[in-house]
A = this chain, B = another copy of it.
Amino acid sequence: MTVRIGIIGTGAIGRDHARRIKQVLAGGRIVALTDVNRSLARAVRADIAPDAAIYATGEELIAAGDVDAVLVTSWGATHEQYVLASIAAGKPCFCEKPLATTAEGAKRIVEAETAFGRRLVQVGFMRRYDAGYVALKEAIARHTGAPILVHAAHRNPSVPEAYVTPMAIHDTLIHEIDVLRWLLDDDYVSARVHYPRNAARAHAKLRDPQVVVLETRKGVLIDVEIFVNCHYGYDIQCEIVGEDGIARLPEPMAIEMRLGAKLQNAILTDWKDRFVVAYDVELQDFLKAAAGGTAAGPSSWDGYVAAITSDACVAAQESAGAAVAITMPDKPSLYS
């Protein structure tokens, strides 16, 4: 069965998912588009999906009879309403980060989906689909023994002046928050933030770098370095220390060269290149589940928990190294 897809929001990421469905993935067809900027929707129709209808609003698109499933790739502040509308219509819905702009909003989605009684929402935490993280999870299961410590780093060459300290959590750490929960099959109980001196390239309203220390229910201690003006490259590191040994996230594939007195491998500089294949895999997973009228992968619950954790981490940024407790609500059985 081919899943007929409607896309709400046809900016860069929406257009890229449209291309993916058209040219890379099996089982999907784009039948509907909408964007507050109608010319963007028209351009995607012209370039990628000539048979797609263009709708005035996301709600109309969701209601359209030939739309089987929905991609929410609009501006973040609108995600909640479209996801709730998709749930109300009983249609599978892939929602880019953030699921909602507040934990309360995410909670409303969880409640709606729980009331509906079947999973319909997949959140765009693409790292769970990265071959490196998948292999790391397998290495934990098969080789390292139970995790005790995690050392991670999220480094980015530079950010604009508008990027302020809390964004290091909401826009950057959010990926580690989700993927480490998934890797460890665990939940967070506290967060701390330690700051070294500022890097010379830090901005007026940005503490950079910073180290977030998370503790989990199972007692794992995690440190994540966030360094968004690290200059040298986009570099994601993750090391798991287990009872019997250690496993590391692989470096991205690179040609080893011997040139100019250096044994060298290129490091990526653009975050968009780092998990490019994972975007394909996550959306293929959505299409597959949507064909059966449901959703898989990162859930509304995961989005909600990530929001709660982010809020605690931001509070920890202002707590001078003291631990901020993270309290999780009870998990509805739909997500277990």
- Residues on A facing B (Cβ under 8 Å): 21-27, 131-132, 135-136, 138-139, 143-146, 148-149, 151, 192, 194-197, 199-201, 209, 211, 213, 215, 218-221, 223, 225, 227, 230-233, 235, 241, 243-251, 253-269, 284, 288, 321, 323
User: Which of chain B's residues have a CB closer than 8 A to the CB of A131?
Assistant: 253
Say whether, besides A194-B213, A196-B221, A215-B196, A266 and B255 are in contact (CB < 8 Å).
Answer: no
Copies of this chain, count: 4
User: Which of chain B's residues have a CB closer than 8 A to the CB of A259?
Assistant: 143-144, 232, 244-246
B135→A253 contact, CB < 8 A: yes
A157's closest neighbor in chain B, by CB? B261
CA distance A211 to B217 in the complex (A): 18
Nearest chain B CB to A247's CB is how many angstroms away? 5
CA distance A269 to B235 in the complex (A): 29
Nearest chain B CB to A285's CB is how many angstroms away? 11
CA distance A254 to B247 in the complex (A): 10
B257→A247 contact, CB < 8 A: yes
B269→A261 contact, CB < 8 A: yes
Pick the residue among B232, B246, B257, B263 that contacts A254 (CB under 8 A). B263
A255→B248 contact, CB < 8 A: yes
Other CB < 8 Å A-B pairs besides A251-B263, A262-B262, A262-B266, 4 of them?
A: A148-B197, A230-B245, A232-B260, A247-B258
Nearest chain B CB to A299's CB is how many angstroms away? 23
A255→B250 contact, CB < 8 A: yes
User: Which of chain B's residues have a CB closer than 8 A to the CB of A264?
Assistant: 262-265
- Among A149, A220, A266, chain B packs the most CB atoms within 10 A around the CB of A149
Nearest chain B CB to A235's CB is how many angstroms away? 7
